[in-house]
Structure 1
């Protein structure tokens, strides 16, 4: 008889990151959704569309964050139809703030809202489980963010170009996947500008090749220093 698994709550034990640059934002996430030690989805898309120019990165309890994202997307769609113009990124972030704070006693959700609008350009807003809303040039979330605090503090700088931001978030998520057992799968990257959203997917085999190359280069440098 096969063992019975008590799966419980499905969580986005995850790594999410968003960075502002002049002209837009870059967002990235891993793709692993886990329930305790069981990986129930290795190709989840945690970059969720709210409008053509606004996306959110989800961490926490999967069904709760998905429901919140669907609800906020509906509100933004109604607003866009009634007002006849694109919604603001800040308005989307405020909707998440109200939901997370209202249900903070029963909800486990950390959200990063990122996008572009005509009023303020590219913006990144972080809403952790407490419901506190804060705009940041670089926002982290999920279980993998614990391993990235020092890296981000050291490597992130203001005025980074779009390509620099893409390389930065890719390296960050790769590092989190290597060290955090709840992060894994592919790396999804999105670039949001006045032209909309462009998405990129980096498969697992390229991540493994990157990790091996980094370790080999580090060993060579360490050996050279010793000699």
Structure 2
């Protein structure tokens, strides 16, 4: 089969997405690689999408499907907020995503993790896998990289983590999936949501931990070409 034929394939996110609750809020994390077959269409995409000021969603699967679901839910939640005069809860946002995913399960190829904080239930994480099932969980992992992380989370997860512990766990888990899963890669983005608001963090690929058998980063040809003062060439 001609590999170039894959350039016409739908953009999909062979992905690692994670949502973790901690004592006071939630931390969402994701890698940044978007692929079209064997071709990396975007190496720095943002897979954590804002639905409301206090609710975000991590997207995996078909990029187009996850984006259109997020757009619809964002619109519905905006209307909901105007009608009620207060922010929507995390449960309402997760149920809207569940409704759209389940009613269109024959056409959508996307798995989502909804996370946020509200004044009624605090920090909550909901998984909405392929097919539209809604599952409330203390932590959720999804995407192609998740298969490498179940044992890791069984060992590393604990109740009542601090914010710092939760964020370090998410970054460590995503970097581990990037090392093992060929469809995950790029940088790591996190979003922390609690009663004080939302904090986004960015971790470049060269600052992630190196795992077993991974190669140390080296200067690429692009680094040499972009150098401000390249060494002169001597011609004999």
Taking structure 1 as the reference length, the TM-score comes to 0.90
Change (3 A) 1:4 1:177: closer
Change (3 A) 1:215 1:180: closer
Q: Separation in 2 of the partners of 1:179 and 1:4?
A: 25
Aligned to 2:203: 202
Aligned to 2:50: 49
Larger Rg: 2
Aligned to 1:101: 102
Note the aligned Cα RMSD (angstroms): 1.4
Write the deviation string for residues 108-127 of structure 1: whole angstroms up to 9, x where unpaired. 11000000001100000001
* Kept after mapping to 1: 8 A contact 2:6/2:38: no
Shift of 1:6: 3.5
Structure 1 alignment gaps of length 5 or more: 217-227
- The total of aligned residue pairs comes to 211
Q: Separation in 2 of the partners of 1:6 and 1:34?
A: 10
Write the deviation string for residues 68-90 of structure 1: whole angstroms up to 9, x where unpaired. 00110111111111111010100
Aligned to 1:152: 153
Q: Separation in 2 of the partners of 1:20 and 1:86?
A: 20
Aligned to 2:130: 129
Shift of 1:5: 4.0
Write the deviation string for residues 139-192 of structure 1: whole angstroms up to 9, x where unpaired. 000000000010011110111111110110010000000000110000001100
SS at the partner of 1:150?
Answer: helix
Q: Separation in 1 of the partners of 2:58 and 2:36?
A: 19
Write the deviation string for residues 89-120 of structure 1: whole angstroms up to 9, x where unpaired. 00000011111111111211100000000110
Q: Separation in 2 of the partners of 1:141 and 1:5?
A: 27
SS at the partner of 1:107?
Answer: coil
SS at the partner of 1:191?
Answer: strand
Q: Separation in 2 of the partners of 1:6 and 1:163?
A: 41
